[in-house]
Structure 1
Amino acid sequence: MTEVFKTVDELSDGYWKLIDVRFSLQDPKAGKTAYENGHIAGAVHWDLEKDLSDMDSKNGRHPMPSRENLTELFRRSGLMLDDRILIYDNGGEPFAARAWWLLRYGGFRQVYILKEGYKGLVRAGYPLQTEAAAPERSEVKPDWQGQLYASREDVRKVVEGSGEGILLDARAAERYAGKHEPLDPVAGHIPGARNFDWSRLVSGGQFNTGEEIVRAIREVVASDEPVTVYCGSGVTAAPLNAMLAHIGQENLRLYVGSYSDWVSDPDAPVETGE
């Protein structure tokens, strides 16, 4: 079992590296503006589209950044592999989980998502600042965990039966079934995928890790099944991936390109219905 989520009450004394990843899919500038208006003292800002995605890539709507770009991001943020790293968004959002996954992919060993998000730290009295944090640059060498990443070809092997495990679609049930598709050119899901809407993980503006959520997930995925999680663009799959890791799923991958990458291939098969 990998501890993924922390509450404010669980933050023990000692030094944490802080990362602010507040963002809005409706207004991509909103996260940076919020950071400039006030953030937890010492927190660096990572932007979903500028830092946590390669928007020049054609592999989906929020494609995987290159290892070179991730290394530069880690270094300019002053990170080392053994640092205790706490990531926050506004709570109950997918952005901290996206950063968490990329850090785990880079081999960072103590990375956590704050359940209550930014407001929880403010309520707890953590000091704020408006000037951008300027950490001392590191020369960290990531310890890449390639087994956490699934490419389109890896997913194709699962679909064809030559790859192990199951696919888990984190989108809403209507999009999974192909009844409603607001973003991608083809409605439906990757053949054989099961469905668990990531938003079911959120209660009261934060992630719920209680027994009822564990039971709900276990009705869809067995604890010993290898799982590859995807969504529309690889963002909302990240919190479902994080929750699975938190409850002990060991053989776990994220298809970062997700459905938007899958249907960019005109020959890729798609299923509809439940």
Structure 2
Amino acid sequence: MAGNSSYSSSSRSRSRSPLQRKSVMPRAVASATRNGPRVVANRTQQGPLSPLISEDEIRKTLQEVVNAFMDMDVDSDEVQSLWDNAFSLRRRFRQTGFRLARCMRPERPLTRLAPEPLRPPPPPLLALPPPPPTKQEEAKAQAVVNWIGKLHELYQKKLGMDRKTQKQEIRFDTEKKPGNGIHQLMFQSTVHAQEFKAGPFVGDECTTKKAAEHSAARVAVESEFPHFREEAQAPTEPARRKNRKKRAQSSKRDREESQSDSSESEESEKRVKTEKSD
């Protein structure tokens, strides 16, 4: 009975028309990818074959069936054998739980990279010049010491009482300089005088013309009158603070004087009492 059933199934498959055989092939492909095959890595690339079927093997088998089916010169028995191979492959695919084998690339041994040569340290940055003082800083410096006035005062003392300083004897020449990125325009002054020993003197670049003249006057004072250098560099105290100190000192003297007077009066009273007792 088993032999008859196998014979009948093979005869039925042979008696099918080409259209019926063509309809079987898509169902076989659809059943292979019905629920989405699960891909499992096959790490045994060499040695015995894995029981899992790869996707490339399925595609190759089905492509052979299609090519033989479309080629009219191929014998029907050969086409049937290809179909049998496809169905046996499908049975294996079902037995493995519809899992696909995926060949992984062979693991390469880790190669030790050569150490990179040490890079030389970067060159040190050049020290940038200090930024020019702002207008507020220049105004604050001018408020402490009036360098132009101090230069005229010391210059007159140097001349003595014999003659007075002429109007144009101390002259300031101011030049405009290009800006440094922060300020668009800068000023630099040079002071000239007849009685200078080492003049003329050039000041720093400033943001205003007046500040440039004060800077040149300061250089002249520090060079021509060194005895005033320390005194000029020390900031002067405001008048209110000076008045407070004077009042504090005077009140202290008053207290000391009152204490001394009271002590003298007490001593005089004691002497009077002793004289009366005697």
Q: TM-score range by the shorter chain?
A: under 0.3
Question: What TM-score do the two structures reach when normalised by structure 2?
Answer: 0.20
Question: What TM-score do the two structures reach when normalised by structure 1?
Answer: 0.20
Kindly indicate which of the two structures has a greater share of residues assigned to strand: 1
Taking CA–CA contacts closer than 8 Å with sequence separation of 6 or more, which of the two structures ends up with the larger relative contact order?
1
Kindly indicate which of the two structures has a greater share of residues assigned to helix: 2
